[in-house]
Amino acid sequence: MKVTAILQGRLGSTRLPGKVLLPLAGKPVIIHVYERIKHCMNIEKIIIATTINRRDEAIVRLFGHLGVTIFRGSEEDPLDRFFRAATKYNLQHIVRIMADCPVIDPNVVDTVITYYFRGNYDFCYLGGEFPTGLDVTVFSYPTLKKAWEKTGRLSDREHITPYMQKHPELFRIGCLELFKGLCHHRWVLDHGSDYRLLTEIYNQLYEPDKIFTTKDILELFDRKPEIAKLNAHIPRTII
């Protein structure tokens, strides 16, 4: 079964403009996400899905030099962008990866993909008390197509998967819980304080050609708890 990751990224963030190109350990955030996903054993291909907006030419140029497949679509309708990318490249099974999650854990992604296939699910996601920024969702092309056809709600189309999750009568849904007591951690890049925390994580743990894991981050926080407090004032948002 072929699994493709669609890495979703754009430069139009209002809270932290250009966030996916901010540097971490000398590389843009989105490059770190891409390199981490390349370590997933269960993913065969990665597609960068950005928008047709002129400002996102910077993302196209960045990955164009690496020979990575790029798809450009609607900025206002990310679900349409996903569906058209999946249709163009004849995808079978899709993992949604967000470009503002630079500590996404390849081991977690692989575990969720394995669970998806073992359960013969249409849609599967990481649930439970995990740090924000480790989010993983996996779904089949027919599931994506049905969501694209049936929902017109802005929130469904902006976040790709809510329609799938809200309709168990239409889809066989799997939820894998791997973590407990960690939902207070925030490892996604959306605010300046998030960037300070992620910068500290990368300064402490990043090594070229080596992927640090969730376990490594938690051990770092045990040694230096002040790092975890850098963005602790931001509440968790659940879509």
In this structure, what token pair is assigned to residue 79?
A: 């679900």
Chain centroid offset of residue 152 CA: 23
- All domains of the chain, ordered by start, with CATH? 3-183 (3.90.550.10)
pLDDT at 14: 76
Phi, psi of 11 (to 5 degrees): -105, 5
pLDDT in tens, 173-197: 999 999 999 999 999 999 999 999 9
How high is the pLDDT of residue 120?
Answer: 98
- Residue 161 token pair: 């998967």
Q: Mind giving me the DSSP string for 145-189? A: HHHHHH---HHHHHHSSHHHHT-TTTS-EEEEE--SS-TT-B-S-
Cα(2)–Cα(84) distance, rounded to whole angstroms?
A: 18
The rounded Cα 61 to chain-centroid distance in angstroms is 21
Q: What is the pLDDT of residue 237?
A: 64
Q: What is the token pair recorded at 6? A: 């669609």
Dist. CA 55–CA 162, nearest whole Å: 28
Taking the C-alpha atoms of residue 211 and residue 213, their distance in angstroms, rounded to an integer, is: 6
Q: Are 135 and 99 in contact (CB under 8 A)?
A: no
Rounded distance between C-alpha atoms, residue 8 and residue 81, angstroms: 9
* pTM value surpassing 0.75: yes
**Residues paired with 171 in a beta bridge:** none
The answer to whether the beta carbons of residues 43 and 5 sit under 8 Å apart is yes
Q: Which two tokens stand for residue 115?
A: 């669970």
Question: What pLDDT shows up at residue 12?
Answer: 81
pLDDT-flagged residues of the chain (< 70): 237-239
- Residue 166 CB burial class (10 angstroms; 0-12, 13-18, ≥19): middle
pLDDT digits (tens, 9 = 90+) for 190-236: 999 999 999 999 999 999 989 999 999 999 999 999 999 999 988 87
* Tokens at 67, concatenated: 């020979």
Q: In what order do the strands lie in the sheet with 3-8?
A: 69-73, 45-51, 3-8, 93-98, 137-140, 123-127, 173-177
The total of other beta-carbon atoms located within 10 Å of residue 13's CB is: 15
| 32 close to 122: Cβ distance less than 8 angstroms | no
Nearest residue to 101 via CA among 175, 37, 39: 37
Please give the DSSP secondary-structure letter assigned to residue 43.
-
